[in-house]
A and B are shown apart, each in its own frame.
Chain A
């Protein structure tokens, strides 16, 4: 019995690989997009313009306050009503990138705010332009602070990508759901699905931990 199930599971490995590929593609594309947009938003959020900052803050709050599943449904079902045709993959990318951008925006903004004012003043005093101050002085120091939560955010992003299976994308979770209809052993099937995610996420979790402890050590140095 178990042996038969195993065989039929092995038979569905092309499907599993496709699912893993879909999960990785979704995560990777939205990771890149989300990071770029998130940094831009984070910089704008801490920039001088109150209005822009408020608007970004309100948007981030809306995204943080609603379940990702609902966001996906909104994008997938409502954008077409507004005349924007899109397939499930595009909808997934939009939803995930937006989610990542919002969280990364807050991480980056917190990092920028944590840079001491003296640093900005020193850069101002030596005549660096606005962008040069950002690029040469503020961002490198903000990055150092933001890196561990940023990596943590990537883990969340990969996990959240599982939710797009709800609009029918064949990612790793969806593959599990499809296979379990044929091979009625949920424990086995979803343990394997879990291992798939674990293999991708766990190294990132370890990386985030290492970065964090290294940063703790660096802080010790500075405090001396």
Chain B
């Protein structure tokens, strides 16, 4: 579903992605972790073309990303992206946020889109917030609207960039619960997170990055109980201490 083959990326002189090779199978959930600045966001943003790569091959859903013949707008419609800072549209209500892309990109009738949108908002526990503006919602509620916004496009892949790290602790679980239920329905997911509980519950694989390279990759059990490198041991020591 997602395949990186020897992908490199530079920001000016900074080599942020080093020879990345990684593949994500359909219905697989892959968690990406690593220290700050290791390139996790950059990696996941490459998948839907928010960042461009310089060399190597990146194939998503059978289309080469960055290839001039690939219609990125079309491809992006098939990929949901959940941001760390939610990025809800402040001038639109929760329901309007959810239905905007289905109406304009998928060309679904407004009434049908709104029905689907209400259903999804109810599913993420926001049945009473259809007409609330983002500024009237808590962080956890906003992030759940953002997830519903992606789901309403019926995407084939969902990408999450630290979806819970901007949230107060008591709101983290409400968002993780939604993500778990999405994963259990068989969605293909790439999730940048340090929530190891989430990784243990639903991830098939954990990928550990450091300084722009994939250092280690394995099942959550392997990775947590028996990290193979010094760097991953040091990293786990730090995040598990909390």
Residues on A close to B: CB < 8 A?
116, 118-119, 121-129, 132, 136-137, 140-141, 144, 221-222, 224
Contacts and interface: CB of A to CB of B under 8 A. Distances in A.
Contacts of B181: none
B83 interface: yes
A132 B50 contact: no
B178 to A, nearest CB: 18
Given A121-B81, A126-B105, 8 more contacts: A121-B83, A123-B89, A125-B80, A127-B76, A127-B105, A136-B100, A140-B91, A141-B89
Interface in B140-184: 149-150, 153
A119 B91 CA distance: 11
B100 A125 contact: no
Contacts of B131: none
B91 A144 contact: yes
B4 to A, nearest CB: 19
A125 B135 contact: no
B163 to A, nearest CB: 13
Interface in B53-90: 73-81, 83, 85, 87-90
Interface of B: 48-50, 73-81, 83, 85, 87-91, 100-101, 104-105, 135, 149-150, 153
Contacts of B81: 121-122, 125-126
A123 B97 CA distance: 10
A222 B153 contact: no
B84 to A, nearest CB: 9
B208 to A, nearest CB: 25
Contact of A126 (B85, B90, B100): B100
A122 B77 CA distance: 11
A119 B87 contact: yes
A140 B90 CA distance: 10
A122 B76 contact: no
A124 B50 contact: yes
Q: Chain A contact residues: over half helix, strand or loop, or mixed?
A: helix
A55 to B, nearest CB: 27
Contacts of B88: 122
B89 A127 contact: no
A122 B87 contact: yes
B91 A125 contact: no
7 contacts: A118-B87, A125-B48, A127-B153, A128-B100, A129-B105, A132-B105, A136-B104
Contacts of A116: 87
B135 A126 contact: no
A125 B48 CA distance: 7
Contacts of A132: 104-105
A119 B135 contact: no
B135 A222 contact: yes
B104 A128 contact: yes
Residue of A116, A121, A124, A126 ringed by the most chain B CB atoms within 10 A: A126
Contacts of A221: 135
Nearest to B149: A126
B77 A126 contact: yes
A141 B91 contact: yes
B50 A121 contact: yes
A132 B85 CA distance: 22
Contact of B73 (A121, A129, A141, A224): A129
Contacts of B85: 118
A126 to B, nearest CB: 4
B83 A122 contact: yes
A5 B100 CA distance: 65
Contacts of A122: 81, 83, 87-89
Contacts of A121: 50, 81, 83, 87
B87 A127 contact: no
A224 B135 CA distance: 8
